[in-house]
């Protein structure tokens, strides 16, 4: 009888979790969205033949898919639905009237949402660690994943961005853990629950909670209700880790909670930071008034210290020693499009950031200010999100941008209100409606040591590369 050592047997079992004996073809609608692109990667690694469609493609997601040999069609068309397709995953950006959606329904093709497929095909095999909240989900998820990786756990993950430590937004794990960025946005046109209700986490982080996604939620109470449904899915032997002194989160927990809880952040929290240097590059980690470790890293801002505390607490729940987690964060490389330095030309630094909510804009600017001191910050903002386009947060934008020395606002064609309503409240602001003219203006005013911070949750017409080229001429 063939003898197989225990370690080799466990490796075989882990590998066979996802081994496929079929050439099943999955087609993904909205494949270049951060979440759906992650599903495409996971499906490809499971052995599926994967194709997809999207209205437009741009890095970093399009680059990942191309490198994996996943064919993507630009635009939605009935012809994209080849006879070989066995199953269709439909992203939440798709709705009735889309030609491929209509063809799927008319042809009776089997379809389901991305979150449902993820839950059934991937997450059911793991201890799930989910990171939810209005801000910081991507960064905190990336920190947690890197901590587990650095400590030998080889976790699976699906993150709404590209962590620099991994260079990819999703992968299947070889161990027992899977980290998922738990988005509150709706699941699909046929399933209006929040995506995170499918994930069934054992470890849950609630970073913070504010009103957002005004295109699907009428008010903050509606988001709180979805978060309460999420809390209902966390087992009693799990753990909920949440930001202290967050009134909106307190309101969620008051609706009912059956799981042990720990807090992080300011005030009388279980997890808190001390001895924080002015540039936030060093801080001590304390748990229940006991010093547990120290972090020395290169990230900016108090918000990232809070993200780190949540990640450390989550890893501690799955038995990662705090000192190991702190050491891992010292090698953390952040996420693409989170205060990502895209280049320096003639002493002028150009940053890319995903900020698209007033709170995120404010903390991003504060973090940059703490790092660069009195150097001039030129903030460039494209208000592109659905909530921004509706004008829900326009009254808060001027205050959110106050840390910048110069403010440049881009007025896209599909914005339902005039950015002059913001610029008139700021003495240092200008509005542009053409990216080329905006770039010319930046080149004319930027000087050595200036910091240009470009904020958008879209491609912004490739402004970063175009600006860097223009600065060289």
Task: Tell me the pLDDT band of 14, cut-offs 50, 70 and 90.
Answer: very low
Task: Tell me the pLDDT band of 141, cut-offs 50, 70 and 90.
Answer: very high
Q: What percent of the chain has pLDDT over 70?
A: 95
Q: What percent of the chain has pLDDT over 90?
A: 68
Contacts for 10 with CB less than 8 Å, ≥ 6 apart: none
- Tell me the three-class secondary structure of the chain, residue by residue: CCCCCHHHHHHHHHHHCCCCCCCCEEEEECCCCHHHHHHHHHHHHHCCEEEEEECCCCCCHHHHHHHCCCEEEECCCHHHCCCCCCEEEECCCCCCCCHHHHHHHHHCCCEEEHHHHHHHHCHHHCEEEEEECCCCHHHHHHHHHHHHHHCCCCCEEECCCCECCCCCCEECCCCCEEEEECCCCEEECCEEEEHHHHCCCCEEEECCCCCCCCCCCCCHHHHHHHHHHHHHCCCCCCEEEEECCCHHHHHHHCCCCCCCEEEECCCCCCEEEECCCCCCCEEEEEECCEEEEEEECCCCCHHHHHHHHHHHHHHHHCCCCHHHHHHHHCCCCCECCCCEEEEEECCEEEEEECCCCHHHHHHHHHHHHHHHCCCCEEEEECCCCHHHHCCCCHHHHHHHCCCCCEEEEECCCCCCCCCHHHHCCCCCEEEECCHHHHHHHHHHHCCCCCEEEEECCCCHHHHHHHHHHHHHC
Classify residue 277 as exposed, middle or buried by CB count within 10 Å of its CB (0-12, 13-18, 19+): exposed
Q: Provide the pLDDT for residue 13.
A: 44
List of domains in the chain: 6-113 (3.40.50.720), 122-329 (3.40.1190.10), 340-472 (3.90.190.20)
Task: Tell me the pLDDT band of 16, cut-offs 50, 70 and 90.
Answer: very low
Q: Provide the pLDDT for residue 15.
A: 42
User: With contact defined as beta carbons under 8 Å apart, do 89 and 113 qualify?
Assistant: yes
Round to whole Å and give the CA distance between 382 and 410: 5
Cross-strand bridge partners of residue 239: 203
User: With contact defined as beta carbons under 8 Å apart, do 235 and 130 qualify?
Assistant: no
Tell me the per-residue pLDDT of 44-97, one tens digit each, with 9 for 90 and over: 999 999 999 999 776 667 778 888 899 999 899 999 998 889 999 999 999 999
- pTM to 2 decimal places: 0.83
Mean pLDDT of the chain: 90
φ and ψ at 49, to 5 degrees?
-85, 125
Q: Provide the pLDDT for residue 120.
A: 96
Task: Tell me the pLDDT band of 133, cut-offs 50, 70 and 90.
Answer: very high
Task: Tell me the pLDDT band of 122, cut-offs 50, 70 and 90.
Answer: very high
Tell me the per-residue pLDDT of 232-279, one tens digit each, with 9 for 90 and over: 999 999 999 999 989 999 999 999 999 999 999 988 999 999 999 988
pLDDT above 70 for 298: yes
Pull the structure tokens for residue 147: 């901590």
Tell me the per-residue pLDDT of 324-381, one tens digit each, with 9 for 90 and over: 999 999 999 977 777 788 999 999 999 998 877 888 899 889 889 988 889 999 999 9
pLDDT above 90 for 179: yes
Cross-strand bridge partners of residue 185: none
Q: Provide the pLDDT for residue 21.
A: 39
Task: Tell me the pLDDT band of 393, cut-offs 50, 70 and 90.
Answer: confident
Mean predicted confidence (pLDDT) in 129-151: 95
pLDDT above 50 for 10: no
Q: Provide the pLDDT for residue 161.
A: 84
Q: Provide the pLDDT for residue 19.
A: 45
Pull the structure tokens for residue 122: 């991937």
pLDDT above 70 for 138: yes
Nearest to 42 by CA among 98, 151, 117, 129: 117
Higher pLDDT among residues 398 and 337, named by residue: 398
Higher pLDDT among residues 54 and 20, named by residue: 54
Mean predicted confidence (pLDDT) in 297-303: 88
Q: Provide the pLDDT for residue 58.
A: 66
Q: Provide the pLDDT for residue 128.
A: 98
């Amino acid at each position: 009888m063939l003898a197989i050592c225990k370690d080799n047997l466990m490796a075989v079992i882990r590998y066979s979790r996802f081994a496929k004996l079929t050439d099943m073809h999955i087609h993904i609608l909205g494949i270049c969205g951060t979440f759906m692109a992650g599903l495409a990667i996971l499906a490809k690694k499971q052995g599926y033949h994967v194709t997809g469609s999207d209205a437009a493609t741009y890095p970093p997601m399009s680059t990942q898919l191309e490198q994996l040999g996943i064919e993507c069609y630009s635009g939605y068309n009935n012809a994209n639905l080849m006879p070989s397709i066995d199953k269709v995953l439909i992203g939440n950006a798709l709705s009735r009237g889309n030609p491929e959606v209509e063809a799927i329904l008319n042809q009776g093709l089997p379809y389901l949402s991305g979150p449902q497929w993820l839950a059934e095909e991937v997450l059911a095999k793991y201890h799930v660690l989910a990171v939810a909240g209005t801000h910081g989900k991507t960064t905190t998820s990336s920190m947690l994943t890197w901590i587990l990786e650095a400590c030998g756990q080889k976790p699976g993950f699906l993150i709404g961005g590209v962590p620099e430590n991994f260079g990819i937004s999703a992968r299947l794990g070889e161990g027992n853990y899977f980290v998922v960025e738990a988005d509150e946005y709706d699941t699909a046109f046929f399933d209006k629950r929040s995506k995170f209700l499918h994930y069934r986490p054992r470890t849950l982080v609630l970073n913070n909670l504010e009103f957002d996604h005004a295109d699907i939620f009428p008010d903050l109470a509606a988001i709180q209700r979805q978060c309460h449904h999420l809390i209902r899915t966390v087992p009693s032997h799990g753990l909920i880790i949440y930001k202290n002194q967050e009134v909106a989160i307190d309101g969620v927990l008051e609706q009912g909670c059956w799981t042990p809880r720990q807090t992080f952040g300011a005030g009388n929290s279980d997890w808190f930071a001390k001895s924080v240097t002015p540039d936030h590059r060093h801080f001590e980690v304390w748990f229940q008034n006991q010093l547990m470790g120290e972090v020395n890293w290169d990230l900016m801002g108090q918000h990232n210290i809070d993200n780190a505390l949540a990640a450390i607490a989550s890893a501690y729940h799955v038995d990662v020693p705090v000192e190991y987690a702190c050491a891992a964060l010292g090698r953390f490389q952040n996420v693409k499009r989170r205060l990502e330095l895209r280049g320096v030309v003639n002493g002028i630094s150009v940053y890319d950031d995903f900020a698209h909510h007033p709170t995120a804009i404010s903390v991003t600017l504060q973090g940059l200010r703490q790092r660069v001191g009195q150097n001039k910050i030129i903030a460039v903002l494209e208000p592109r999100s659905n909530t921004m386009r509706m004008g829900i947060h326009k009254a808060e934008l001027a205050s959110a941008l106050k840390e910048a020395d110069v403010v440049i606002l881009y007025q896209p064609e599909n914005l339902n209100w005039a950015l002059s309503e913001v610029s008139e409240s700021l003495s240092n602001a200008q509005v542009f409606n053409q990216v080329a003219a905006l770039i010319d203006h930046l080149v004319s005013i930027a000087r050595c040591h200036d910091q240009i911070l470009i904020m958008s949750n879209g491609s912004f017409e490739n402004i970063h590369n175009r600006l860097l080229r223009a600065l060289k001429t």
